[in-house]
Chain A
């Protein structure tokens, strides 16, 4: 049976209030379309986790979707602070657990491997460990060395964006993925948006590009530009200017609330949001990604 469905339905079916959600993407392939749909459906009380949390997580916090975040870093990459996160924490509306990127990656990897914890040489100094309930010092049973142990973190659902999938949910992604594969394979349920649906024969032509096998994937939606304003290698470039504008928008709660109302709640779906962004802007992003990106867009049109 095909796992392909409309975005609104796959989000409604997979993401429930109270869930722990792993947010995929690292610089590339941040799942903005799925995040916007979560905001639109006003799903609340979520625990969001990812190593380097960028502005999508800040938007989800601003929209009131998150009760807690588990992060290695949160901000607007290269530009500054996560303004909505900072306001929510200061107001006592949001719990958070911060660790290092490697520390959080290892928590996800432990869940992926099905073990209760993993040891590391990191996290053995500084002020952060004393604030981390998910970390303990252990002695290696073989060498007697002191190590830090981090507990497994098993997300209820992973959301990700990728280049392509077949109808069985065999998801192929390439380019920079950061912690995406570990986080996705740690999760109990996986939903994705993709730039293209291709045949299973096409998937089998390059199986080394499959990052998660179909049997681990619950549902996939075909959503071109689903990672905009982040990027998708060989499809479109990163809209750095939007990230700059977001810094200005997010500085004040009222302007961010108004932005979310206009760009998410007032629009029925992602297609309408892309129309709101404007075709000229998207064309620029395709050009920024090089000739392969143009060829992909021509092939699927």
Chain B
């Protein structure tokens, strides 16, 4: 059984969540990665949604962070202030972010394609993404391997990565620590994304295919084991949104 790009991304990111007790989650690929982690390797991880749900256990993929399945089974339904308050106080360990574009510094764009004043396409905007990017202890970026999404320069920095903000001086989170795709994982070395690991069935060249040259390549590239039978079964059993 082959997995979709989102499902392989979920495997890739989901395995990385074992280090964390608290995870700020958004809609789409982040929710799927978090759901897999919660069902397999990280059963006690507290999933936190901006709508105010803490310890959420959605039984299907939600369309909205305020969907019924986010509320059902949650440990706490607080307010948006409760969850952003925890976030700002530095008490949420990791945030999962996606976006329309990412650059090699982990800057994410979810605002416009094209010029801000006269864009070719206006996107829904930050929501909580800017807040999460600055305030979670660290960030994992989930981005499908589509070359138009990996750019030298994002059209608009909605959610800052490395370099533009003095995170230490402003007492912000550490920023992005990895970008995961359905093919590979990029780690940040001195604030720049470098290819660090590829799935067993992908070559390093394939993992970088179509990306701008700013995305580097580590000297030694690890191998990521293919999705297991168990991971595949769990992902197939999660109803889509």
Contacts and interface: CB of A to CB of B under 8 A. Distances in A.
Given A121-B134, A177-B52, A178-B80, A128 B28 contact: no
Interface string A105-122: 100010000000000111
Contact of B51 (A81, A82, A178): A178
B9 interface: no
B101 interface: no
A125 interface: yes
A271 interface: no
A98 interface: yes
Nearest to A244: B63
B241 A78 contact: yes
A28 B236 CA distance: 28
Contact of A178 (B27, B79, B157, B159): B79
B70 A105 contact: no
B66 A125 contact: no
A146 B168 CA distance: 12
Nearest to A243: B63
Interface string B141-172: 00000000000000011111000110001111
Interface of A: 26-28, 51-52, 54, 71-75, 77-79, 81-82, 85-86, 89-90, 98-103, 105, 109, 120-128, 131, 145-146, 174-182, 231, 233, 237-238, 240, 243, 288-289
Given A102-B88, A121-B172, A179-B79, A74 B124 contact: yes
Interface residues of B, number: 51
Nearest to B122: A86
Contacts of B160: 125-126
Contacts of B124: 73-75, 81-82
Interface stretch (B125-133, B184-192, B214-222): B125-133
B123 interface: yes
A54 B122 contact: no
B81 A182 contact: yes
B84 interface: yes
Interface in B93-143: 107, 111, 116, 121-131, 133-135
A78 B79 contact: no
Given A78-B27, A82-B124, A238-B67, A146 B77 contact: no
Nearest to A231: B68
A48 B121 CA distance: 22
B32 interface: no
